[in-house]
Amino acid sequence: MALSSSSSAAAALLNGSGSISSSFAVCYYGPHHKGVEGRIESTNDHEDYEKLARGMESASPLEIMDKAFQKFGNDIAIAFSGAEDVVLIEYAKLTGRPFRVFSLDTGRLNPETHQFFDTVEKHYGIRIEYTFPNAVEVQALVRTKGLFSFYEDGHQECCRIRKVRPLKRALKGLRAWITGQRKDQSPGTRAEIPVVQIDTSFEGIDGGKGSLVKWNPLANVKGQDIWNFLRAMNIPINSLHSQGYISIGCEPCTRPVLPGQHEREGRWWWEDAKAKECGLHNGNIKQEELSQHININGNGVAQHTNGSAPASDLFNSQKLVSFRRTGIENLARLQNREDPWLIVLYAPWCHFCQAMEGSYIELAEQLEGMGVKVGKFRADGDHKEFAKQKLQLVSFPTILFFPKHSAKPVKYPSEKRDVDSLMAFVNALR
């Protein structure tokens, strides 16, 4: 990926003067890729991942995911549990890179979780492969202790057979994996997880200590922010969530939680609340501003293309940058931006654009000082065909988020244009 060498070069482009879990799925590739072409960046065996984690502590999940794929290519995969960690697949899709996903089917999942896997496959155009526990080991456990021995002597033995050992086999074919762990999930075991770490519990393809890296892109994201993003992006969810389940595992060991209860209280509720791990994560147990170079208010006021009288321009605020055609073209070309941008493509005569004017200006005011630039581009008239071909315009308004480290903008998919919904979309990507 080509990167701009300096903020002045980026500014020139914008100014127009430059040129241009209970169950986890293996081996998924994005629908437009036949395969992942090897490792993209060779990995330094002695890399200081503690230093890397500190440097990315404030990075967005999208940026962390992109970094992980960049470093490990085909040697990394996402662990998908069939719960709200479906957000990882959405982020992976948004990076534009090919990626893999894996999942463990323990044999004790809810029917709703299996149905959810099918929904996810169809939504993302993928085919999930599963890893299963060893049938001989499961048979021996059940014949010796019965189907529900974990209620009497703890869940560790059952989880070791149905989850930990299958996971160990899957990870032996990788050099890194991506999990949906968050600090707020389990106060006793996950409160200090970093965004990236050496996995001390499992080994990777090269074998030995330090041969596997674990990425936790959601480590610093709050559960509520995850759910805001799921709703904002219209991402499918497990139907068990609507029945009161938050953390979802195997059917006998998962139950709904009451209002105000912590999400992990629905898992292994008969055991110590500070040790609720199944063994998969036992290692836890401890620029110069470019807007100065963009012509402000460059679009002026244009006549509605159907010949009606000119409409007053919208989104007039000092908190917003108004893009000309050259400016928006060059913003789209940039591979590396000093700041992420939120841009609305609008037409002054559009009633839906008029209706969201207040919320968009309020959003711009809230984002000031948060490192996200806010702008507008009038995309009707002579610019409409260009916007349809290059900026994903289908109807007005269209809202795009341009990440710092990706050329491809992310389109806001929802018709909810209130401040909270838009802020959830931005917070999930910035």
- pTM equals 0.68
Kindly give the pairing relationship between strand 373-378 and strand 341-346.
Answer: parallel
Task: Answer yes or no: is 310 within a domain.
Answer: no
- CATH number, domain of 263, equals 3.40.50.620
Q: How confident is the model at residue 5 (pLDDT cuts 50, 70, 90)?
A: very low
What pLDDT sits at residue 13? 28
- CATH number, domain of 331, equals 3.40.30.10
Q: Do 82 and 190 belong to one domain?
A: yes
Q: Of these residues, 158, 159, 250, 353, which one is catalytic?
A: 353
User: For residue 75, how many other CB atoms are within 10 A of its CB?
Assistant: 21
Tokens of 379: 């995309």
- pLDDT, tens digit, for every residue of 234-261? 999 999 999 989 889 999 999 998 777 7
| Number of folded domains that form the chain | 2
Task: Answer yes or no: is 173 within a domain.
Answer: yes
Q: Do 233 and 339 belong to one domain?
A: no
Q: How confident is the model at residue 300 (pLDDT cuts 50, 70, 90)?
A: very low
Indicate if 278 belongs to the active site: no
Which tops the pLDDT comparison, 307 or 230? 230
281-284 long-range contacts (CB < 8 A, ≥24 apart) are 281/179, 281/181, 281/189, 281/190, 281/201, 282/201, 283/197, 283/199, 283/200, 283/201, 283/214, 284/181, 284/186, 284/189, 284/190, 284/192, 284/193
Write out the residue range of the structural domain in which residue 213 sits.
49-271
Q: What is the mean pLDDT of residues 18-22?
A: 34
Got the DSSP string for 39-64? Answer: -SS---TT--HHHHHHHTTT--HHHH
Kindly give the pairing relationship between strand 373-378 and strand 321-322.
Answer: parallel
Q: How confident is the model at residue 214 (pLDDT cuts 50, 70, 90)?
A: very high
Q: What is the mean pLDDT of residues 310-314?
A: 73
Q: Do 394 and 263 belong to one domain?
A: no
* Residue 293 and residue 11 in contact, taking contact as beta carbons nearer than 8 Å: yes
Residue 321 belongs to what H/E stretch? strand 321-322
Residue where a domain stops, chosen among 235, 251, 271 = 271
CA geometry: angle at 50 spanning 44 and 56, to 5°?
95
Closest among 134, 133, 132, 157 to 144, alpha carbons compared:
157
Helix 111-124 vs helix 86-95: angle between axes, to the nearest 10 degrees? Answer: 10
Q: Do 71 and 169 belong to one domain?
A: yes
> Three-class SS of residue 155?
coil
Kindly give the pairing relationship between strand 341-346 and strand 398-402.
Answer: antiparallel
Indicate if 353 belongs to the active site: yes
